[in-house]
Amino acid sequence: MRPERPKLGLVAGGGDLPGLVIETCKAQGRGLHVVALKGHADAKVIGDFPADWIRLGEAGTGFALLKKAGVEQVVMIGHVRRPTLSELTPDLRTAGFFARIGIKSLGDDGMLRAVVAELEQEGFTVVGIDDVLDDCLCPNGPVGTLTPDDVAQADIARGIQAALALGRLDVGQAAVVQQGIVLGVEAAEGTDHLIRRCAGLKRSGPGGVLVKLKKPGQDRRVDLPAIGVITLREAAAAGLRGIAAQAGGALLLGRESLAAEADRLGLFLAGVAVDDR
């Protein structure tokens, strides 16, 4: 008999991943308490599952809700746009946190590390999404039937260089490269907007590639790069030939459905091994 797993607290941002966690916990009969972030989490994704909705600046309320629910482990997933301090209206607990860490001096990864440390100080164990969802990490090699040719492989290698440099600055996780030219890198706008921006910069000849990696030294429990169906469709619409994601360091939101959609769109989707030390 499988031992009962600790009750999970889901801090939900935007995108489809929170919904996958909810459905997985339902199927497993695992205890789950959802704290959804207003202005970030999608009510349609959360569905009819009971959830507490809080502002990003209400850390004190969030901690209290998780403790009251008997949560032991916490997973933080989903897109969260970094707000300005004026947008946050932080409670006393959050304001004290910002004062200690110096929020203005931290990039996204530094901020997430500080949040993880704060949760652990409150007595929670922070876990990664791959501890909750089975088979969600990108494998090494092709996903689907199409594979990158020599030109695309060269663009992938160039994209890895660009994305690693970008990640070391704690700025973004992705780059678009075509025929050796870096058309764009990801910043605050996110991957899908990066792809759209690069659509207007594409050159004639073989289409470019999107390369998406976790930042070097990034805490694997939070903010791993993710590839979903929407990203595939954006890439196809922008004239890209395919997507390369870090094997073991990026999330695939439904591997089988992504493989089928990549084949339908005529794109390759491949996992690549990356030394990001």
Same domain, 195 and 87: no
Same domain, 205 and 268: yes
The CATH number of whichever domain residue 32 belongs to comes to 3.40.50.20
The reply to whether 1 falls in a domain is no
Rounded to whole angstroms, the Cα distance separating 246 from 167 reads 13
Same domain, 156 and 108: no
Q: Of 87, 105, 131, which closes a domain?
A: 131
Same domain, 59 and 123: yes
The reply to whether 264 falls in a domain is yes
Rounded to whole angstroms, the Cα distance separating 249 from 167 reads 13
Query: Collapsing DSSP states into helix, strand and coil, what is residue 123?
Result: coil
Same domain, 123 and 55: yes
The reply to whether 230 falls in a domain is yes
Q: Quick one: pLDDT at residue 185?
A: 96
Q: Which two tokens stand for residue 272?
A: 């690549």
Contact 103, 111 (CB under 8 A): yes
Q: Quick one: pLDDT at residue 17?
A: 87
What are phi and psi for residue 51, nearest 5 degrees?
Answer: -145, 145
Read off the pLDDT of residues 252-261 as tens digits, 9 standing for 90 and up.
Answer: 988 899 999 9
The CATH number of whichever domain residue 202 belongs to comes to 3.40.140.80
Same domain, 108 and 165: no
The reply to whether 277 falls in a domain is no
The reply to whether 59 falls in a domain is yes
Element (H, E) at 257: helix 255-265
What are phi and psi for residue 100, nearest 5 degrees?
Answer: -70, -40
Same domain, 145 and 238: yes
Q: Quick one: pLDDT at residue 189?
A: 81
Torsion angle, CA of 96/98/101/106, rounded to 10 degrees? 180
Same domain, 49 and 117: yes
The reply to whether 260 falls in a domain is yes
Same domain, 102 and 168: no
Same domain, 78 and 167: no
The reply to whether 2 falls in a domain is no
Q: Per-residue pLDDT tens, the chain, 277 aa: give them.
A: 455 789 999 999 888 889 989 999 999 899 999 999 988 899 999 999 999 998 878 888 899 999 999 999 999 988 876 665 555 666 677 667 666 655 554 556 666 777 888 888 889 999 988 888 878 899 999 999 999 999 999 999 999 999 999 999 888 899 999 999 999 999 878 899 999 999 999 999 999 999 999 988 887 887 788 899 999 999 999 999 999 999 999 999 888 999 999 999 999 999 999 987 7
Q: Quick one: pLDDT at residue 100?
A: 65
Same domain, 108 and 147: no
Q: Which domain holds residue 125?
A: 8-131
Q: Quick one: pLDDT at residue 114?
A: 76
- What is the tally of structural domains in the chain? 2
Same domain, 102 and 176: no
Q: Quick one: pLDDT at residue 40?
A: 87
